[in-house]
Each structure stands twice: as C-alpha cells, then as structure tokens.
Amino acid sequence: MFGGLAVPANSPHLRKSGSRTYVYDLVNDMRGGNTPMNAAAMMPSPILLWRFKVLLFLIWGCICCKVGWDSVMRMSADKRDLFLYEAFLYFNPLLLAALMVWLWGINLWVFAQGGANYAKIFDLDQNHLTHREIWKCAMWMTIIVPTSMTAYIYLYSHGEVAYAASQPVLLYAAIVMVLIFPFDIFYFSSRYFFLRTLWRIVFPLQAISFADFFLADILTSMVKVFSDLERSVCRMVHRQVATIAWLEADSVCGSHSVAIPLVLVLPYLFRLNQCLRQYKDTGEKTSLLNALKYSTAVPVIFLSALKYHVFPERWTNFYRPLWLLSSVVNSSYSFYWDLTRDWDLSGFTRIFKFSKPNLFSYMLHGRRWVYIWVIGSNLVLRCTWTYKLSAHLRHNYLTVFTIAALEIFRRFQWIFFRVENEWNKMNNKSHMQMSEMSNEEEKLLHSMNYNV
C-alpha cells in the first residue's frame, strides 16, 4: 500500500486484535515477557553467585570444624594424640596435592595474563584445562578430602570403627578410579596426558620433553605426599586403619620401614635417569651436571634413615655429621642451579607484565623486592626442605607438614621463572630461524639479480 517492503504473513503486526495469539503476547509483555533480554535480567549476577558459593563454603567449613572438634573431645586424652596422628597421615597427602592444584591454577592464570603460551611450551592439545577448570578440580578436592576426614573422626569417636576405617579406603579408591576411568568424561584427554607423562617419567625410553622433566621436578617437591601415601596404603593392605598396631616401630608399616627412604628417593632417581637420557640424546655436559645435582639428595635420605638401624652413639658421632654435610651440599647445589640454569636471571623481563595491567601487575612488575624475595625465600626453603628429606625427623608431623606446604609454595614460585625462561628461549630460537630464512632469501634474490 505504501510501496514499502513486504511484511511476512506471520508477522505479529498482521495478527488480528481479537486473536488468541495477540492476547497471549499482550499478557506476556505485561508480565515482563520471556525474551532473552528479560531472561538475562532475571538471572542472578555472577558476583552474587560467587558470594553465595563462598558463603556455602564457609558454612561447610564451620560444620566440619565443629563436628571434628566435638568428636575429638569425646576421646580420652591418652588416645587423642595417637588418633589425630593417624588421621592426619591418611588425609594430609591429599590436602597437599590439593594445594599444589590450587597454585598450579594460579600459575596458568598468570601465564594467560602475561601472554606466555604455556600450551605451546608443554605441547598441549586444544582440550587442555584452563585455570578455571583447574580451580574447579581443586575446589572439589578441597571439599571432598576434609569431608571424608571429618566422617572418619566422627565415626571412630562414636564407636563405628569399621565404618571409620572404610573412609580413607573409599577415598583413595575413588581417586584412582577417577584418574584411570577409560571413558570420555572427567577431562579424559587431560587425564590421559597426565598418566602418559607419569609413564614417561618412570620409564624414560624416549626423548625427554619439557613436560616430562617439568612434572618430574614438581614430583621431587612432593616426596612428602608419596611417603605418606606409601605408609597409608601399607596400613590399608595390612588392615591397620583405625588401629594403633602400626605405631610399633618394628611393624611392617612402622617408622623403621625401609620402604620410607626408598619412596623418598624415587622422584630424584627418576629425574636423574631423565638427565642421563638427555645426555645420551644431545651430548650436552650440562645434563650430567644436572644429574649430579639430583644425586646429592640420595645421601641425605639414606644417611638419615640409618638412625633407625645403628647404635645411637654411632649415629651421633659419625653418621649425623655426614648427614649435615650432605644436606649443605644438596641445598647449595640446588640453589645455585635454580638461579643460574633453571631461571637464568638475565631473562627476567616479562614474568609479571600482564597484557591487561592491573594493581597486581603494577605492584610486582619490575620491582627489585620481588626478585630479592624470590631468591631469598628459595634459599631458605631449599635448606628447610632437607628437614623433610630426613627420615629420622618424620615424627614431628605438624612441622613436617608445614615445611612440605612451604616447599610446594617454593615450587609454585619456581614455576613462574622456569616457564618464563623456556618461553624466552623458544622466542629467541624462532627469531633466529626467521632471521636465517630472511638472510637466505636475500642471498637468493642477490644471486638472481646478479644473474640477470
């Protein structure tokens, strides 16, 4: 009629005023409608959801603390400390592992903000986990492990010893099942990559990739986890959970067990074999020097374990001075290697330089105190970590747990500069290749012009 565009026959503007559709649309509009804009307006804000989750987390934490404290107070004073030591042994390695996962998520977040392509560095596929997914896994670990520990304490204090003993067994079995689940759920590709890398660490039958020795280095900082896992699994196999039979020093799972130093030394031997394999493939002598660094941890571990197998006077007069000397050598060598090889202080250029500057990047980037703190804390924690490598000091479980957590924090700091150093090397290598290609092209053009 007006010479305009043709209006579709099903247009709402052509519907009759008396039609049911028009009346429904009119009522729907009066009620607020169901359009995408109105639906989005009805959804709670992400900040509100985050606050609600934090509130639930705090409520859950208070409930676990209350139930656990009341359950412990029901026990007799002579049994309380022994029981807490046993409960702590079963669940503290999983808490340390959860801490490592939380900090790894922070590492990935900083890499993403700083522009470091960690997926290229570790040769990850497109399905690799982001920092948000890593934090989600850490959150569930942080919820499930203390919940199981609270149930263990509650059931034992109320006389349900059999049900209490099943808690750590079920928890460990569930973790193993999640890791090896063969179906495409629970981040299948990431779980497969992790298990495959562990296999390559244990059996270095191929060329060593960056992900291989990077994860192996992290495992050397988690020997406390593996040592306690061995003792926990030993108790489960011998049905000593929720008992005090294992407290005997000469029992198969006691403090004199030779399995403890063997488990402590395994991550260092794996890393040592990697260095030897790397020397075989590349012929670089630095790989042998790196292997020597990991070999210095072996005397620390086994000299300490001798305390349980020699006379006290022999330990004090002969083996203890050797243990102290080996500890100093190991800590000094490791500290030197961190600064000069793993970090390469000359490459500290972009670690806290985020692509989107914020308060955090402004406080850290280019600040001298950051490097003073990292170097100083690395030296102190390298020395204190020797305390945990010492088998004869394991009875101070709270102190050892604190030192193990600090060692994980030291490794968390180490990761920043180690990955940055590798990223700088990759960039320099690509720039050199591009310059060589451009030089070859210039030579080719020059020869063509000369021929012409």
Maximum distance among all alpha carbons in the chain?
112
Quote the DSSP letter at residue 2.
-
Q: Which whole number is the average pLDDT over 262-271?
A: 93
pLDDT of amino acid 20: 43
What radius of gyration, in Å, describes the C-alpha atoms of the chain?
30
In the predicted structure, residue 78 carries a pLDDT above the cut 70: yes
Question: CA 327, CA 207: separation in Å to the nearest integer?
Answer: 31
Per-residue model confidence as pLDDT tens digits over 373-430: 888 999 998 888 766 656 555 566 778 788 889 999 999 999 988 888 888 788 777 6
Task: Identify the pLDDT of residue 434.
Answer: 61
Helix (H, G, I), strand (E, B) or coil at 16: coil
Neighbours of 353 (CB within 10 A): 14
Confidence check: pLDDT of 272 > 50: yes
Q: Return the minimum-mean-pLDDT range out of 98-102, 138-142, 147-151, 340-344.
A: 340-344
* CB-facing half-sphere around the CA of 89: CA atoms within 13 A: 29
Taking 60 as the threshold, does the pLDDT of residue 444 lie above it? no
Model pLDDT for residues 192-205, shown as the tens digit of each residue: 999 999 999 999 88
* pLDDT reading at 217 higher than 60: yes
Question: What pLDDT is stored for residue 450 in this prediction?
Answer: 47
How distant, in Å, are the alpha carbons of 57, 141, 158, 216 from that of 150? 15, 14, 12, 32
Q: What's the average model confidence in pLDDT over 147-172?
A: 92
Q: Which two tokens stand for residue 99?
A: 């801490």
pLDDT digits (tens, 9 = 90+) for 356-378: 665 555 556 666 777 788 889 99
Q: 């061995």: which residue's tokens?
A: 230
pLDDT for the residue 238: 85
